[in-house]
Amino acid sequence: MTQETRKNLLVELFVEELPPKALKKLGQAFGDVLLAQLRAQGLADAGSLLTPYASPRRLAAHVTQVAARAADKPVSQKLMPVAVGLDAAGQATPALRKKLAALGLDEAAVAQLKRAPDGKAEALFYESVLPGATLAEGLQKALHEAIARLPIPKVMSYQLESGCELPGWSSVSFVRPAHGLVALHGADVVPVEALGLQSGRDTHGHRFEAAVDPVVLRDADSYALQLQDEGAVIAGFEARRAEIARQLAEAAVAVGGGAEPIQDEALLDEVTALVERPNVLVCQFEPEFLEVPQECLILTMKANQKYFPLLHASGKLTNRFLVVSNIRPDDASAVIGGNERVVRPRLADAKFFFDQDRKKTLASRVEGLGKVVYHNKLGTQGERVERVRAIAKAIAAQLSEGSGDAALVAQADQAAQLAKTDLVTDMVGEFPELQGTMGRYYALNDGLPVAVADAIEDHYKPRFAGDELPRGPVGLAVALADKLETLVGMFGIGNLPTGDRDPFALRRHALGVVRMLIERDLPLELQALVGIAADAMGPLLTQADAQAQLLDFIYDRLAGSLREQGASAQEVDAVLGNRPERLAEVPRRLAAVRAFAQLPEAPALAAANKRIGNILKKSPEADAHVNPQLLREPAEVALHSAVQAVVPQADAQFQAGDYTASLQTLAQLRAPVDAFFDGVMVNAEEADLRLNRLGLLASLHRAMNRVALLERLA
């Protein structure tokens, strides 16, 4: 075959069952690295397309337009300067002869050397042609890299089967034991080896339902079709996933009544990684189990059994569920019956836990929290609850001032006291994911107000990016209190997140605080909230600068969040530069800065503001006070008059929360500011004149930076 011969390539590793949660990533990574390595060696090009395959027992990649041999490469190698390599007669010096010998050349090669400028001197270059790699050589290297760079969650070591190992191989470390290697270039086997295996064209289909075994592949392009027809396997992850989704929807329609399978992308990915020949079957359980909160039933079916519960259009759970089987028997009744028998004890356990838990009130469980350790430096959950109660009451008191909700403080206190009590219930002990959710059910069972029950569930929110926020003011007060107690407590004992490590989810808690303050437009000040939490922690805080560190941390999280939402680094820097206390104002300030930046006066004013800031840094004695009697130059008189006229109006707009109008009003100062810097010497020799002019600039600087630090826009 010549280097012009381009055919499609198929590589497959046949292994034992791969970890399902990692399968999709493993399949994509295997193909990506393989293609990148082939391209790097000139065996594939930009037009070569990758199709990755991943099933429970195989990783494979199909690459189009792969050369049998890479093109030769001209190579120009610098040897040495001409003055060093050739003597006066133009003959090779000993140094050059030694260099040529190292390349396997003799003195006759001197005539072939090329002279070319190299900086200030002329150098000798040896030009040769590097033969392109053969596919066998290149694929061997690519395969080694693809295996070595797999994102394997956990490696295992195993002994090779007797008689299959290559010389020097006896044991292997890989994600799972490998039993086969296929490498086909068109219809030709490419001789490579990996994991103690030699390449061939044989693979294996479904364990029980393959029509033939082994499946002998005709060529690279017949891989997926032969596996499906002869091996009863859908090799492609996405193709198998789409088939499962299609069958789930079809089965739901067959059940009728507007039923729909639960939407869970992670579950669909995991099930796709567990089956090779999906077959969706409809099963059911006894209707009396529907008396249990549906979150419990859904969780046990999804997490433990990998089933898809069927929901009514309203979102209410039905007593039907869908199973994705890996076999397609003519009579599926045994498979259906087996799955129904398996799920029944799980649901019975959930019902038992629910019935037992309701025999005790949440209030009666408060004492039990004193036996649950929260942190060795911060005490028990019971002690933590008392701190959260104190913080929640203080927050609720501030919120009630504006809303007039007299019951808010008492309800926030009660919700905070009971929020963690479901941690000592049987149901949450079995299913920790249901903390908060079960607390709400048990609170309603105890006859508590809906606002308190909702707050018990909602105090964990937002639990992840994009999660919903607490529903009402009681939930907001307790959720803020819970997160602030964690943040201040952990910062207070020096337990800060580092790099990728954040075991107490402090980044998530900080973003949760930010989202609640901003998206619910709460009239609360961040520094005051941190102070309230610090007071509740008392002597437990051992780090002197904990509050300052935490405030920096929260503002950093806010800055990152704003940038992710599309704000520029300059805009964010300007708005957060003077640390607005009420985070609820940040979106309005950001909008005002954006509107200001569009004004024709903006660049000049931002630059002037920066200049003023630099001047004032060098003059710490300046204060924002002006004596009109000391204003001499027409430009400083005009600027003072403009400040007197414009700033009160801008301040009134600022106080009213109309930040956009405030900045636009200040834009009127551009002309007098420009004239001032053109016609006035700020650092006058007379001290009283100099201080008066600095005072004028200080008053202007203070007025211009109330909404944002405009100098950051320069």
Q: Mark 285-300 as b/e (b = at least 16 C-beta within 10 Å).
A: beeebbebbebbbbbb
Instruction: Read off the pLDDT of each residue in 407-414 and give the average, rounded to a whole number.
Output: 95
pLDDT of 165 reads: 55
Q: How far apart are CA 330 and CA 288, in angstroms?
A: 31
How far is CA 219 from its chain centroid? 40
**For residues 454 and 504, is the Cβ–Cβ distance under 8 A?**
no
pLDDT tens for residues 5-44?
789 999 999 999 999 999 999 999 999 999 999 999 989 9
pLDDT of 4 reads: 54
Instruction: Read off the pLDDT of each residue in 34-61 and give the average, rounded to a whole number.
Output: 94
pLDDT of 323 reads: 97
Q: How far apart are CA 272 and CA 20, in angstroms?
A: 8
- Whether the pLDDT of residue 516 is over 60: the answer is yes
Pairing of strands 215-216, 202-203: antiparallel
242 Cβ contact list (under 8 Å, min separation 6): none
Confidence of residue 164 (pLDDT cuts 50, 70, 90): low
Instruction: Read off the pLDDT of each residue in 684-703 and give the average, rounded to a whole number.
Output: 88
Alpha-carbon dihedral sign for residues 143, 144, 147, 149: negative
How far is CA 98 from its chain centroid? 57
Confidence of residue 403 (pLDDT cuts 50, 70, 90): low
Pairing of strands 188-189, 178-185: antiparallel
- Provide the whole-model pTM: 0.80
Confidence of residue 171 (pLDDT cuts 50, 70, 90): confident
Alpha-carbon dihedral sign for residues 206, 208, 214, 216: negative
Describe the crossing of helices 408-418 and 450-458 by its angle, rounded to 10 degrees.
50
Alpha-carbon dihedral sign for residues 616, 618, 623, 629: negative
The single-letter DSSP state of residue 249 is H
Which amino acid is residue 349, in one-letter code?
D
Instruction: Read off the pLDDT of each residue in 468-485 and give the average, rounded to a whole number.
Output: 97
pLDDT of 2 reads: 42
Instruction: Read off the pLDDT of each residue in 305-310 and give the average, rounded to a whole number.
Output: 95
**Choice among 85-94, 317-326, 582-591 with the minimum mean pLDDT:** 85-94
pLDDT tens for residues 419-428?
999 999 999 9
pLDDT tens for residues 655-682?
999 999 999 999 999 999 999 988 888 8
pLDDT of 1 reads: 38
- Whether the pLDDT of residue 340 is over 60: the answer is yes
pLDDT tens for residues 381-399?
999 999 999 999 999 999 9
Mean pLDDT for all residues in the chain? 91
pLDDT of 185 reads: 96
Tokens standing for residue 96: 């050059």
Tokens standing for residue 166: 């290559």
- Whether the pLDDT of residue 3 is over 60: the answer is no
pLDDT tens for residues 528-569?
999 999 999 999 988 889 999 999 999 999 999 999 999 999
pLDDT of 77 reads: 81
The single-letter DSSP state of residue 538 is G
The single-letter DSSP state of residue 523 is -
- Whether the pLDDT of residue 126 is over 70: the answer is yes
Long-range contacts of 136-140 (CB under 8 A, 24+ apart): 136/190, 136/191, 136/192, 138/37, 138/38, 138/41, 138/42, 138/43, 138/70, 139/9, 139/11, 139/38, 139/43, 139/183, 139/190, 139/192, 140/192, 140/193
Which amino acid is residue 655, in one-letter code?
Q
Tokens standing for residue 479: 């959720």
pLDDT of 471 reads: 94
Confidence of residue 168 (pLDDT cuts 50, 70, 90): low
- Whether the pLDDT of residue 417 is over 90: the answer is yes
Confidence of residue 231 (pLDDT cuts 50, 70, 90): very high
Q: Considering only CA atoms, which of 440, 445, 506, 447 is closest in space to residue 475?
A: 440
Q: Which neighbouring-strand residues pair with 81?
A: 123
Instruction: Read off the pLDDT of each residue in 81-97 and give the average, rounded to a whole number.
Output: 85
638 Cβ contact list (under 8 Å, min separation 6): 672, 675, 676
What distances in angstroms separate CA 175 from CA 27, 148, 152, one per listed residue?
13, 11, 6
**For residues 366 and 385, is the Cβ–Cβ distance under 8 A?**
yes
Q: Mark 215-245 as b/e (b = at least 16 C-beta within 10 Å).
A: bebebbbbbbebbbebbbbbbbbeebbebbe
Instruction: Read off the pLDDT of each residue in 349-365 and give the average, rounded to a whole number.
Output: 96
Q: How far apart are CA 695 and CA 109, in angstroms?
A: 82
